[in-house]
Structure 1
């Protein structure tokens, strides 16, 4: 199935990635020298629409490269698609479990467009009655979740 453009990972121009990488490096440099980087972090968040904090800039090295962090920051922060369909969610889930090169984006997209907490974890740790379920069955299980109103 082909996904519509708003469900595909954004193609970020190299110049934009370089600009974000430079901004990340500037924050890191300030933090490494014990200087306040609050205004740089706030400017970065305003530019990218994200909500990173000092911890994110200090700790990203343990899970990703500078280029990956810049790419992640360039994504839409919460890509909520109001008319997303079940079939589209199944295709996104298929790409997640197939470890598509853009898996991180698809995980972000899937989590944003479903209400079940930690929905993607169901693909890796399904409930006992769904251990042999297909991706489609797992998506249906995820979509059946209804939050409890308090």
Structure 2
């Protein structure tokens, strides 16, 4: 299935990625020197519509490269698609399970467009009664979740 453009990873110009990588490095350098980076972090978050904190800039190396962090920062922070369909969620889930090169984006997109907490974890650790379920059945299970109003 072809996904519509708003469900695909954004194309980010190399110049924008370089600009974000330079900002990340400047923040990281300042923090490593023990200096205050609050203004730089606030400017970075305003520019990228994210909510990163000092810890994010000091610990990203443990899970991703500088380029990957810059790419992630350039994504839409909450890519909510109000008219997303079940079939589109199934296709996104198929890409997650297949470990598509853009899996991280698809995980972000799937989690943002479903209400079940940690929805993607169902693909890796399904409930016992769904151990042999298809991706479509797992998506239906995820979509059946209804939060409890307190």
Q: Does the alignment reach a TM-score above 0.5?
A: yes
**Residue 5 (str. 1) matches residue 5 (str. 2):** yes
Please, which runs of 5 or more residues in structure 1 have no aligned partner?
A: none
Residue 59 of structure 2 corresponds to 59
TM-score, normalisation: structure 2: 1.00
SS in 2 for 1:78: coil
Give the C-alpha shift of residue 37 in structure 1. Answer: 0.2
Residue 146 of structure 2 corresponds to 146
Deviating beyond 6 angstroms after TM superposition, the runs of 4 or more aligned structure 1 residues are none
Aligned residues: 150
Residue 128 of structure 1 corresponds to 128
Work out the CA distance in 2 between the residues paired with 1:130 and 1:32: 47
Give the C-alpha shift of residue 53 in structure 1. Answer: 0.2
SS in 2 for 1:21: helix
TM-score, normalisation: structure 1: 1.00
Give the C-alpha shift of residue 147 in structure 1. Answer: 0.3
Give the C-alpha shift of residue 91 in structure 1. Answer: 0.1
CA RMSD of aligned residues (A): 0.3
Work out the CA distance in 1 between the residues paired with 2:9 and 2:17: 14
Deviation per CA, 1:41-86: give whole Å up to 9, x if none: 0000000000000000000000000000000000000000000000
Please, which runs of 5 or more residues in structure 2 have no aligned partner?
A: none
